[in-house]
Amino acid sequence: MSNPVRKKRYWQTRELIVIGTFAALTKVASLLIAIAGGGMNPVSLVLKNIVATSLLIVLVYKVRKFGVLTLYALINSLVSLLFLGGNVMALPGMLIAGIVGDGFIMMTGGYKRAWALVLGVGLFDLLSRAISLGYSYLTVREEPRLLIMAAIIVAIGYTGCLLGLGSGLLFVKELRHAGIVRE
């Protein structure tokens, strides 16, 4: 007797694979742009964030499910920690940002609404940077003015994220036109 179709798990294998693929691509792309653009080049700083956020938008379009940002943040932080020189203290911050981002999308209309996805990703980017700055503040609390430069860099980077929200949507539109993204 044939086996009936089984109850589906919350996370489908294909979704987990898409999350892993995009986490890898975001990491590699950001790193290579930073290297190609030359260290502190503000244009490459913005570009790096445009690309990372655009990719994140494509990812949430592909995997429209509560927890996608959280899982992405977790995987990214874990692998970065293991061999890319990521900061262990960034992990809780990224997780919180992911949970809040996912929660925000759920509360503002869910994963089917394009603007909810865009705002959710924007919030995730903002929070992850804010938490990371907060951690940096604790590290340099004796001389908080040392944070000025970091704050400027983060602000420039976040400008890239905001631009990336728009370019991400354009990317999705183009991928639909090419028949690569169907949802």
Partner 1 sequence: MIRFENVSYQYPFQTQKALDSVSFAISEGEAVLFTGVSGSGKSTLIRLINGLAPHYYHGQVSGQVLVNGHDNATRDINRIADDVGTLFQDAEQQFFALSVEDELAFAHECRGVGPDKIKKTIEEVVDRFFLERVVDSAIFDLSEGEKQKVALASIVSLKPGIIILDEPSANLDPEATAELATTLDKLKEQGITIVVVDHRLYWLSGLIDSVFVLQGGRIVESGDFSILENDTKRVNHGLRKTQIRDSRKDLPHVREADTTAIEIADLTFAYRNKRLLFDHAYITLPVGEVVAIVGENGAGKTTFARLLTGLTRMHSGDIRMNGAVLKPRALLKKGSIVLQNTDHQLHMKTVRAELEIAAKGLPESERNRRVREIMQHFNLDELALRHPQSLSAGQKQRLVIACGMIKNPDVLILDEPTSGLDGLNMKIISDKLKQLAGLGVCVLVITHDLELIEEACGYQLRLPLNMEI
Partner 2 sequence: MPVLSENSKISNDPGIIQRLDVRTKMAICALSSIVALFLEGIYPLSILAVASMVYALLHKRLVVVFVSYGAILVMGLMAAFCVKIMTVVMPEMGKMEIQLFFSPFLRVMILVNVILALALSSRVQSILAALKTLRLPLVIYLPAAVMIRFIPSFIVDIKQISESLKIRGYHINPLTITFHPLLTMRLLFVPIVVRALRSSDELAIAAELKGLGYSEKISYYKTTALSLADYCAGGVATTLLCGACLFEYHDKLF
- Please, which of residues 3-32 interact with partner 1 by CB under 8 A? 3-6, 14
C-beta of 6 vs 145, nearer to partner 1: 6
DSSP one-letter string for 144-176: GGGHHHHHHHHHHHHHHHHHHHHHHHHHHHHHH
Footprint of partner 2 on residues 63-92 (CB under 8 A)?
Answer: 71, 74-76, 78-79, 81-89
Residues 6+ positions from 61 with CB-CB distance below 8 Å = 117, 172, 181, 183
Q: Which does 150 bind (CB under 5 to 8 A by kind): partner 2, partner 1, none?
A: partner 2
Nearer to partner 2, 109 or 166 (CB): 166
Longest CA–CA separation in the chain, Å: 72
Residue reference for tokens 């742009």: 33
**C-beta atoms surrounding 61 within 10 Å:** 19
Task: Say which entry of partner 2, partner 1, none residue 51 contacts (CB below 5 to 8 A, set by partner kind).
Answer: partner 2
Shortest Å, Cβ 113 to partner 2: 22
Window 126-145: residues binding partner 2 (CB under 8 A): 138-143, 145
Shorter beta-carbon distance to partner 2: residue 108 or 167: 167
Site for partner 1 in 160-179 (CB under 8 A): 174, 177-179
| 141-156 as b/e: b if 16+ CB within 10 A | eeeeeebeeeeeebee
Please report, as ranges, the residues that interact with partner 1 according to CB under 8 A.
2-6, 14, 174, 177-180, 182
